[in-house]
Structure formats: structure tokens, C-alpha cells
Structure 1
Amino acid sequence: MAVDKTNKFSEDEDRGKSSTIRYGKIATGLGLATAAAFGAVWANSRARDVERNGPPSMIDWNKVRDIAERMNPETGATAEWRNKWTTYYSELTLKVVPIIEEYANTKLPRQLNTVRAVSRNEWVEANISSFRQLFEPIERLNRDSMGSSSAAMQAMVGGFNQLLVSGEMGILLGYLSRRVLGQYDLSLLGREPVADGRVFFVEPNIGGVVNALNLNGDEFRLWIALHESTHAFEFESHTWVRRHFNGILERYFSYLTEDLQNMRLNKQRLNNFLRRIRDNSQGSSWIERVMTPEQRTLFSELQALMSIVEGYSNHVMNAVGEKLMPNYNTIKERIERRQKDRGIIDKLFIKLTGLDLKMEQYRLGEIFVDRVVELKGIDFANLMWDRPEYIPTLDEIKKPELWVKRIEKAQAA
């Protein structure tokens, strides 16, 4: 009898399971139908938006801002806080500028009166403005490429692309805004010539590093001011540098947009692109694997320029800082250790975004400038800012003696 009850219970349970599965399938079907209906309404709405306003932009900067700010919840900076720290950093730059001028034998043509202390989200906002200018050539390509598609296709594909790219950009800016300490911001590819760059100090991050590494706050902030003020010398005492930088970027974007346009709806071009990735598999970074030879040449020029921009600044910071700060070596040692002790997430993010390549070129640039100054002195090293032809190549950055020999020959001619 007990066995019969057990069997009865098992049969009821099986029927219950069948009913659950059956009703579950019905519910799932209804859910999918509802989702499809909502999706159709959304798609029709987006298609109507496309008909009224044109194809969606590749990047929704409002979404970028929202993602970055969500990664960095913080109370808004008060006017009192901003004025206090802006005054503090302005006084620091006034202190270091004459010292840099004396060491580099170079005059800064203006007073650094564009110093700003900013919160993380204010740094994000400032960089969104810069990125919008940089991405305008790609946005033009996006609008052109979507123009021949139907409104529905533009809404679907354009909306997906916008969601993906905006998310990636928001995460990148959100990540960087928690780590950047100072920034000399010279607006590139702007419509109007810019002579005076802004100097940002992200005080929440600076204060966090001071506390985490138990540093002398005044000395550490002076250390950062030295680095960013030297960037002002590089770009503002040698006005051709910005124009040259812009020229490289404009040519690079021109090649990039041409490359993407050629691949659009062209299977053979797409196959050539995939073949290029395979053939370039031995490249030093994933970024270089998708480049044409022309793009790679420009990328190398950009790397070389950024290497000496950062390397020269680090050299001056080291040369001057040791004389100004009793605890300079302690600061440098702890910062270098902090960079090496990054967590696994940070290391993965840096690798995926190519930021590890940027850090390596900074290190090589600093070694290059140190060696040139050791061999020939700071005045000879300053010749790299004399004209575009004197910028070292990547090979010369790795072997400073090659650059010294080339410049000596040019000077003797």
C-alpha cells in the first residue's frame, strides 16, 4: 500500500512537472511575443526618429557621461573647494615655472593662468569635449555610410553601434578619471587655433594617493605641478609642435576613414582587412595588427612624439625635483611601486585598451632624454623642439646615439 502511494505521488509530481513545463513554455512564448511587440514599437519609434533627424551618431556623449559618472559617484565640487585648490595649484605653478625656465634655458611665453583644480566628473566633462572633436571625422564617416540604408536599418544597426561604442567610451573615461592625477590639456583638432592649454589637477585622486602611500602632500603636489608645467613649455614655447601633432592626427584619421569606407558592403575589402590582422600577428600590439603600412607609419610618428613629450617632462621633473624636495626619491619609489602593484582587473584593462603600450613609450622616452642630456647636455637635447625633422624616430629613441649623430651632422651642414 505504501508503494502504491509512492507511485501515485510520483505520477502526480510528473504531471505537475509537465504542467509547469507546458505553462512555462506558454509564459515564455507570451513573454517573447510581448518583447517582440515592444521591440517592434521601439524599432518603429527609432525609425521615425531617423526619418526626422537622420541616422544616429556613433557615440551618444550623454550616455558616455552617464556611465562615467556612475562609475565615480561623488558629491559635486563646491565653489569654495574649487577656489581653494585652484589657488593652491596656481601658486605651485608660479613657483615651478622659473625653476623649469632656468634648467631648460627656455622661456614660457605666458603666465600659466589656466590652472584648474577639478573633480573626477569635471575631468570627464573636459575630456568629453576634447574627444568629441577627435571623433568628428569618424562621425562624418558614420553618417555617410548609414545614409544609403533604410530608416529601419539605420535605427537598428546605428542604435546597436551607438550603444556599444558609447558604453566602451564611458567605461574608459570612468576608469581613467579615477587614476589620472594631472593633465596638460591642449585641445587638438579644434576649429580655432589654441595657444594656451589648460592645466588640470584632479585633486580627489591626488589626495587619495597621498593618503594611500603616506606621502608629503605639498611635495607630491609640487611633483605633479613640475610635470604638467613642463608640458606647457613643450607645446607653448614651440608652437609648431601642436600643428605637427594635429597634422599627424588628421592624416591618421583620413587613412582610417578611407579604410573603413572601403570595407563598407565590400566583402573583398573585409577579407583584406582580416588578412591584414593575420599577417600582422607579430606586431608589437593589437592596435598595430589592424593597420595598413601607411597607418603604421603615422602611428610610429605619433608614438615617437608622445615618447619625447612625456620623456622630456619626466626628465625635467627628476632633474629639478631632487633639488626642490627632500623626499623626492621616496615619492618616486612609492609611485613606481604602486604602478607595478596594480590589481589583476587594472592590468587586464590596461592590456585590452593598449594603455600598456603608452606606459612603455613613456619609459623609453625618459631613458632617451636622460641619455642625450648625459652625452650632450640639456641645450643639445632641446634641439628636438627646434623643428619637426629633429624629432627622433622610434629606432632613435631606443638608441639615442643614433639621434645624436644625425643631429650633429645636420647642425654641421
Structure 2
Amino acid sequence: MTIGGAEMVDWNLAVATATRLVRPGPEVDREQAREVVGELRRHAEASERHVREFTSMTPPDGTPDLGGTPVLIVDRPGWIKANVAGFREVLRPLLDKMQARRANVPGSAVISAVGGKVTGVEVGMLLSFLSSRVLGQYETFAPATHDLPAGPATLEPGTAQQGRLLLVAPNIVHVERELDVAPHDFRLWVCLHEETHRTQFSAVPWLRDHIEGEIQSFLAETEVDPATLLERVREALQSLGGRDGAEGEDRPEVGRSMLEIVQTPTQREILSRLTAVMSLLEGHADYVMDGVGPEVVPTVAEIREKFQRRRQHGAGRIDLALRKLLGLDAKLRQYKDGERFVNAVVRQVGMTGFNRVWTSPNTLPTRQEIADPEKWVARVHSK
């Protein structure tokens, strides 16, 4: 939806800004580039078999198999375009609501035009930073475009296409060189992680709709009245900056980020559930890539040790500061907490027992259960 031809976010400007600011990838000649692309495609295909055998996860009878979704080997601008398309799709209901709220405001067309360009630049700057760091990604909500095909619809006939696996070739080459690890092994190791995500969504048909429903519920709770939002931000800043006691007693806001404070109580509950499921998905992918690794990746122990050190320490002070600002540190904790949960559950009830996590939304772990896996085992396996 647009007002006066202006969108709330100028997505074309976001793409243009990000591609203009993105750093060039590592130097490779044409023959090397072809070799990298070909090997990543072969590894992605092989990873599908390895992951399914290790996890025992297959689509239910009669369910379309997302294993046939496209595997796209992209450069950094290609990753940017794909993610802008995904953002645009997921955020559409919220932006439409904001546009409708502004429809009767004097000067709304000018406000939308200016605001859309400002936001487009901001989104572009964020994506330019991330585009040189992401190795791969399974795009769950990806709409198909001419340049970026997506997988077949999984619901009723006529539903939008969805799902594609992205592998960012220049970033994979950059990291394998930085870590000084065997390229063949590292590329397969990365593919195992990303293929696990594709397997999660292909074997668990309800998972995509569940996550999308949570995201849309979160966005529906977003306060679109600027005055109210500004007041909430002001209160948040006051709570972060001032303390009643020496250690902030009786101030539950102390120690929480401003983002958490400006959320409504309902949003915090939704975010807690989303954090738990994302910890599960990321931790499960790490568990699988390391579990399959010894059989097919001879240097998996060296790769894991070096990669984990890189994750924890980043590339430098600026990188660490940006990661903290953007909340990427929380994502790193999701990997660690989720993998610890999967490890503990599999040790206690085996892979078959762990796979009960995929039965329904009710069997997904809570944040408390991610931190204390025995609580999940007691709740789910006592039935």
C-alpha cells in the first residue's frame, strides 16, 4: 500500500544503499569462482541425505517435500536482494497498518516519502553490514522473483511459492581463508548446517505457519501511533538512565535493553516463545553439523574450534560493538543454548525421543526449558 506513490520503506533505495556500501568479496578468478559454485551445489545435494539419515526427519506422507526447493549460490548483492524481498513480505501487514493510520494526516504524502527514504537508507546500511557475515540461510518466507526463484507452495493450490536455500559464496571463501581450514571440508560443514534448516521445515509442515503466526502477532501489537511510541521510548530511556537504589532494587527494567522495555507485555511473551524456537532451530543445526561431521568432514574438530573462537571474538572492536548494537550477540547465545538443549535431550531420550519436539507447537520448548532440558523431558515424555 502506498500514499501519494510513497511507501513507508523505500525498498529500492534499501537495495541500492546496501549494494553501494557492501564491501567487495575475496579475490577469486573466474575458474575459481566456477569451482566454488559447483562444489557448493554438490555439497548441498549430499548434505540433504546426510542430515535426513542422522536426524530421521522426513516429510509426513502426503506432504510436499521442500527438499526440492532451490539452492541458490549468491554473492553479497544477491543476498541483499533476497533479504529485502523477505523483509518486504513479512512486514507488509504492519506497514499497511501504518499507512492506513497516516492516510488522513495532513501532509502524509510528504511524510511518507521522506520517511520511506530515510528508513530505506537505514535498512540498506544494516544489510550492507550483515551481507559480508552471513554464510548461508534458509529463507522460510521468501517470495519468488525472476532472479530469485522459490520453492513450491506447501498449502492449498494458489498459495505463494516459498522457501529457498541461499549459500553466500564470497563469505564462505573469505572465512575458510581467514580460518586457514580445508576448503572442501569447510564448505560441506556449512552446507550441513543450512540443509538442517531446510530439513526442519520440510519434515515439520506446521512449523513455517507457526513462526509466521508468532511474527505477525508480534507486529500486530506494535504501537503505530508516533506520540505513544515516543513516550514509551522516553520512559525507557529514563528507566535505563536513573536508578532508585544503588543497585537498582525494585527496578525490573534495569539490565534489560531499551528494545525489550519499549515492547508491550504481550510482545515480550511472544518474543520469549520466538527466542525459544529459534534457539531450538539454530542449536539443532549446530548439533547436526557436528554430529554428521566426523563421518564426512575429516577436519570437523579443527573447523569447529576455530569457527567457535571466531564467533565469540568477532573480527575486531568495531565488529563487536555493531554486533552488540544489532542484537547479534543474542543470536550467538541461541546457538550455544540451543545446542546444549539438543545435546542434553538426545543423551537422555535418544534421537527418536528428541524428535517429539516436532510433534506440534505444544511440544516446542519454552525459554525456561531451553535452559533446563530436563523440564522439557519431564513435560513431554510424561504423557
| Count of residue correspondences | 350
Residue 274 (structure 1) shift: 3.8
Alignment check: 8 A CA contact 1:134 1:188 kept: no
Q: How does 1:58-207 map to 2 (within 5 A)?
A: 58-72=8-22, 74=24, 85-107=36-58, 109=65, 111-112=67-68, 114-151=70-107, 154-155=109-110, 157-187=111-141, 193=159, 197-207=163-173
Structure 1 match to 2:62: none
**2:206 maps to 1:252:** no
TM-score, reference length from structure 1: 0.78
How many angstroms apart in 2 are the aligned matches of 1:392 and 1:73?
A: 39
Aligned residue for 2:73, secondary structure, equals strand
Aligned residue for 2:165, secondary structure, equals strand
How many angstroms apart in 1 are the aligned matches of 2:46 and 2:187?
A: 12
How many angstroms apart in 1 are the aligned matches of 2:212 and 2:32?
A: 35
1:11-64 Cα distance to aligned partner (Å, 9 max, x none): xxxxxxxxxxxxxxxxxxxxxxxxxxxxxxxxxxxxxxx9xx626322111211
What is the letter of the counterpart of residue 281 of structure 1? E
How many angstroms apart in 2 are the aligned matches of 1:363 and 1:66?
A: 35
What is the letter of the counterpart of residue 62 of structure 1? N
Structure 1 match to 2:245: none
Structure 1 match to 2:296: 324
Q: How does 1:32-71 map to 2 (within 5 A)?
A: 54=4, 56-71=6-21
Q: How does 1:214-293 map to 2 (within 5 A)?
A: 214-256=180-222, 259-261=223-225, 264-265=226-227, 271=231, 274-275=234-235, 278=239, 281-282=253-254, 284-293=256-265
| Alpha-carbon spacing, 1:193–1:397, altered in 2? closer, same or farther (3 Å) | farther
How many angstroms apart in 2 are the aligned matches of 1:378 and 1:68?
A: 42
Alignment check: 8 A CA contact 2:143 2:160 kept: no
What is the letter of the counterpart of residue 9 of structure 2? I
Deviates more, 1:358-367 or 1:222-231: 358-367
Aligned residue for 2:382, secondary structure, equals helix
Aligned residue for 1:135, secondary structure, equals helix
| Alpha-carbon spacing, 1:122–1:362, altered in 2? closer, same or farther (3 Å) | same
Alignment check: 8 A CA contact 2:143 2:161 kept: no
How many angstroms apart in 1 are the aligned matches of 2:125 and 2:34?
A: 29
* Identical counterparts, % of pairs: 31
Residue 361 (structure 1) shift: 1.8
What is the letter of the counterpart of residue 263 of structure 2? M
**2:341 maps to 1:368:** yes
Alignment check: 8 A CA contact 2:82 2:142 kept: no
Residue 186 (structure 1) shift: 1.3
Residue 188 (structure 1) shift: 6.1
| Alpha-carbon spacing, 1:254–1:119, altered in 2? closer, same or farther (3 Å) | same
Alignment check: 8 A CA contact 2:284 2:338 kept: yes
Deviates more, 1:317-326 or 1:296-305: 317-326
Aligned residue for 2:167, secondary structure, equals strand
TM-score, reference length from structure 2: 0.83
Structure 2 match to 1:28: none
Structure with larger RCO (C-alpha < 8 A, sep 6+): 2
| Alpha-carbon spacing, 1:105–1:223, altered in 2? closer, same or farther (3 Å) | same
How many angstroms apart in 2 are the aligned matches of 1:194 and 1:218?
A: 36
How many angstroms apart in 1 are the aligned matches of 2:302 and 2:338?
A: 22
Residue 298 (structure 1) shift: 0.5
Alignment check: 8 A CA contact 1:350 1:356 kept: yes
* Structure 2 unaligned blocks of 5 or more: 60-64, 145-152, 240-250
1:312-334 Cα distance to aligned partner (Å, 9 max, x none): 11111111112222211111111
* Structure of greater Rg: 1
How many angstroms apart in 2 are the aligned matches of 1:239 and 1:304?
A: 19
How many angstroms apart in 2 are the aligned matches of 1:280 and 1:112?
A: 48
Structure 2 match to 1:46: none
| Alpha-carbon spacing, 1:358–1:96, altered in 2? closer, same or farther (3 Å) | same
What is the letter of the counterpart of residue 120 of structure 1? R
What is the letter of the counterpart of residue 69 of structure 1? T
- Write 1 or 2 for the structure with the bigger share of helix: 1
